[in-house]
């Protein structure tokens, strides 16, 4: 799901987002059924909401592409660094965060 937008065309994921945020789309269905909205909201005709949908679509589109670079960078960290963190008593989350921001 994360890398899917990178492999599909712009038209395909535009159609997906248009159908998700339509008046009878999945987003409105979920929001109405959970009681967040009283009636379906027209995301695509309201200027602010349409901008937010476009931003969300672009974030989703490029997340998988950037994730490939991020994961390849994490895979290139030497095992000795992980081993040293384990010896120092760092938890898995601490190790991840420290390597993410300091390596």
* Amino acid 22: pLDDT: 94
Domain-by-domain residue ranges, the chain?
4-102
Q: Give dist(CA 54, CA 31) in Å, integer.
A: 19
The percent of residues above 70 in pLDDT, for the chain, comes to: 96
- Mean pLDDT, rounded, for 30-38: 95
* Region for residue 46 given its phi and psi (left: phi exceeds 0; alpha: psi -120 to 50; beta: otherwise): beta
Residue 82 has pLDDT above 90, yes or no: no
Instruction: Over range 82-86, report the average pLDDT.
Output: 89
Would you say how long the chain is, in residues?
103
Q: How confident is the model at residue 14 (pLDDT cuts 50, 70, 90)?
A: confident
Residue 30 has pLDDT above 80, yes or no: yes
Q: Is 40 left (phi over 0), alpha (psi -120 to 50) or beta?
A: beta
């Amino acid at each position: 799901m994360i890398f899917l937008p990178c492999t599909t065309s712009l038209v395909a994921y535009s159609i997906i987002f248009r159908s998700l945020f339509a008046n009878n789309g999945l987003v409105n269905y979920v929001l109405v059924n959970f009681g967040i909205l009283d009636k379906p909201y027209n995301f695509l005709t309201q200027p602010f909401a349409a901008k937010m949908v476009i931003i969300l679509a672009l974030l989703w589109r490029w997340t998988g592409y950037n994730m490939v670079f991020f994961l390849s960078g994490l895979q290139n960290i030497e095992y000795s660094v992980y081993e040293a963190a384990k010896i120092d008593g760092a938890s898995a989350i601490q190790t991840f965060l420290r390597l993410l921001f300091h390596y």
